[in-house]
């Protein structure tokens, strides 16, 4: 992003961002925008391994918690303090039917967990490891799961505090068993994930 674009996005209202994102989504299905930490970010199209990881997690969550749905359709969420941000997690765990009628940017109050799967681009560190945990904690989302392909690990953030971010962070290596904390309460055996960490 150029310096001019960064300055423009810092002055951008949430309403204007939503109009830009809606227009861009109609014009090109391969790119989706986010508005985090006062700047516009681009969420790129993922590769096959990224999709396989997401579907692996969908099946594990549905087996363990049939009362919940892991939405991997790019559902947008209102994030950050006072809902000034807009994020499109790779997956969002919520009760079945929670997103019905909510539109492009849903309220996060009923969301139990957001999931990001790292991509191989220059922004992944800042976006997935710095900005997203802060934004999701500010929104009060109980659990943030980062599937970090670069470090071959899963990082679980829990106990959100809007002032400081997530208070508890636990890292497990791919191949280990991992228990996602309440209110998710799902045990993941991540051995199978190793084949998708390309």
Residue 3 phi/psi, 5-degree rounding, is -60, -40
CB of 144 closer than 8 Å to CB of 85: no
Distances from the Cα of 181 to the Cα of 10, 12, 83, 159, angstroms? 35, 36, 25, 9
Give the model's pLDDT for residue 66. Answer: 97
pTM score? 0.78
High-pLDDT (> 70) share of the chain, %: 73
Give the model's pLDDT for residue 8. Answer: 43
Is the predicted pLDDT of residue 130 greater than 60, yes or no? Answer: yes
Q: What does R_g of the chain's alpha carbons equal in angstroms? A: 16
More confident residue, 156 or 44: 156
Residue 167's CB: how many other CB atoms inside 10 A? Answer: 11
Question: Six-digit token pair at 57?
Answer: 């997690």
Q: How far apart are CA 105 and CA 5, in angstroms?
A: 23
Residue 116 phi/psi, 5-degree rounding, is -125, 140
Average pLDDT score over residue span 176-180? 96
Average pLDDT score over residue span 150-174? 95
Give the model's pLDDT for residue 157. Answer: 97
């Amino acid at each position: 992003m150029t310096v001019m674009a960064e300055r423009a996005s810092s002055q951008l209202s949430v309403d204007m961002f939503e109009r830009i994102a809606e227009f861009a989504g109609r014009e090109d299905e391969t790119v989706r925008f986010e508005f985090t930490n006062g700047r516009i970010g681009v969420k790129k199209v993922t590769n096959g391994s990224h999709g396989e990881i997401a579907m692996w997690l969908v099946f594990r969550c549905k087996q363990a918690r049939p009362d919940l749905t892991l939405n991997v359709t790019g559902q947008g969420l209102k994030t950050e303090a006072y809902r000034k941000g807009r994020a499109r997690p790779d997956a969002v765990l919520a009760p079945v039917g929670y997103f019905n009628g909510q539109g492009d940017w849903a309220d996060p109050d009923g969301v139990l967990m957001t999931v990001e799967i790292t991509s191989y681009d220059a922004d992944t560190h800042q976006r997935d490891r710095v900005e997203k945990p802060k934004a999701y904690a500010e929104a009060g989302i109980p659990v943030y799961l980062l599937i970090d392909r670069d470090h071959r690990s899963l990082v679980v953030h829990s106990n959100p505090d809007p002032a400081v971010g997530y208070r508890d962070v636990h890292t497990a290596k791919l191949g280990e068993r991992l228990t996602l904390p309440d209110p998710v309460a799902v045990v993941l055996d991540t051995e199978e994930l190793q084949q998708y960490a390309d």
